[in-house]
Amino acid sequence: MRIIIPSDGSASCREAIRFIGERAKFMREKPVVELANVQYAIPESIIDRFGLEAVCTVYEAEGRAQLAECTKTAERAGLSVETRVLYGECGPALSREAQVFRADLIAMGSRGLSPAKSFFLGSVSRSVLEHSSLPVLLVRDKGLPERENMRIALAADGSDYGEAAAHFIAEHMDLFGPGLTVDVISIAPDYVSLARNEIDGVSPASSREFFEKESQSAWENAVSPVLAALTAAGIDARPVRREGDPAEAISAYANENADIVVMGSHGYGRFKSAVLGSTAARVGALSEIPVLVIRLPEDLQI
């Protein structure tokens, strides 16, 4: 497995490195890891004044200094890493480097914000998610339990993201452990309350029974293809039904029963601001455990 970790010497960056190091202890084939430091694009005025070569030398030195601290963390975590200094805006630079490196995953630390704020807004995380179709692992500062097999909460909503998440897990079982378990959680739509608010003049008993059946059918349609994909890969998976606010229900369940949340985040063009109030963003804010965000190539279409 090939993993890029954006590295700036920060505490959150070190958390991402330690996370991968912890998982690497249990992996039969050790991951190939690149620590990538991104330096901002060099203004032309600075280049004109000092010369391109001199400016690049300074930027390279600054990037290498930050990478040196991260490399020490990687060594302590038992990881052998490559390093690279990049230039430009973080998201596009890392996206380009991920293609060159042939990465399977971008892993990065994220301090997170309060649930009332957007988890990704204004952060490097958002820039990376805007420009990359790779899965992005957002690591929190809560350490992982030291066990080989992870407990995964996979959020399914009936979209293609649920199956894409299942396929990613199946293709990279070495990261999660050969005996991993997956709880496929989906939030059943509350058609009964909707009907109560919108429909008059119908029998309460008959309408309640009808809408409860519709809710159950919608839930089954959301989880069934995901369960089928996981089961076909020999993964122990079970469905979990919850009701209520999706972000609150998913995060509450995952915090109690899982080591990591895996979910898709629907793209609006290039992860525009409309998504920042989405379930994925709120789960990120409410979750105490790492969140693996699955992206699809069409998310990058404008």
The tens digit of pLDDT for each residue in 32-90 reads: 999 999 887 665 566 556 565 665 666 678 788 889 989 999 999 999 999 999 888 88
81-133 pLDDT, tens digit per residue, is 999 998 888 888 999 999 999 999 999 887 544 444 444 444 677 778 778 88
The confidence score (pLDDT) of residue 273 equals 38
Report the candidate in 65, 40, 20 with the shortest Cα–Cα distance to residue 124: 40
**Tell me, what's the pLDDT at 8?**
85
For the stretch 22-38, what's the b/e string if a residue is b when 16 or more beta carbons lie within 10 angstroms of its beta carbon? ebbebbeeebbbbbbbb
Pairing between strand 260-264 and 236-242?
Answer: unpaired
- Give the per-residue pLDDT at 77: 93
1-109 and 145-302 agree in CATH topology: yes
Contacts of residue 32, Cβ cutoff 8 Å, sequence gap at least 6: 1, 2, 3, 82
CA atoms within a 13 Å half-sphere pointing along the CA-CB vector of 164: 19
Please give the backbone phi and psi of residue 34, each rounded to the nearest 5 degrees, phi first.
Answer: -115, 130
Q: Which of 264, 241, 251 is nearest to 112 (CA)?
A: 251
Smallest CA-to-CA distance from 220 within 188, 173, 244, 256 is with 188
CA–CA distance, 180 with 294 (Å, rounded to integer): 18
In this predicted model, what pLDDT tens digit does every residue of 129-175 receive, in sequence order? 778 889 999 887 766 777 899 999 999 988 888 999 999 999 999 99
Predicted structure pTM score: 0.84
- The superfamily (CATH) of domain 1-109 is HUPs (3.40.50.620)
**Residue-range domain boundaries for the chain:** 1-109, 145-302
Residue-wise pLDDT for 217-257, tens only, equals 989 999 999 999 999 999 999 999 998 888 899 999 999 99
Q: Residue 71 in contact with residue 82, Cβ under 8 Å?
A: no
Asked whether the predicted pLDDT for residue 285 surpasses 60, the reply is yes
Residue 210's Cβ-count burial label (10 Å; 0-12, 13-18, 19+) is middle
The 3-class secondary structure across the chain, one letter per residue, is CEEEEECCCCHHHHHHHHHHHHHHCCCCCCCEEEEEEEECCCCHHHHHHHCHHHHHHHHHHHHHHHHHHHHHHHHHCCCCEEEEEEECCHHHHHHHHHHHHCCCEEEEECCCCCCCCCCCCCCHHHHHHHHCCCCEEEECCCCCCCCCCCEEEEECCCCHHHHHHHHHHHHCHHHHCCCCEEEEEEECCCHHHHHHHHCCCCCHHHHHHHHHHHHHHHHHHHHHHHHHHHHHCCCEEEEEEECCCHHHHHHHHHHHHCCEEEEECCCCCCCCHHHHHCHHHHHHHHCCCCEEEECCHHHHCC
What's the whole-number mean pLDDT along residues 179-194?
A: 84
In this predicted structure, what is the pLDDT of residue 268? 44
Q: Do 264 and 165 meet the contact criterion of CB atoms below 8 Å apart?
A: yes
CATH superfamily of 145-302: HUPs (3.40.50.620)
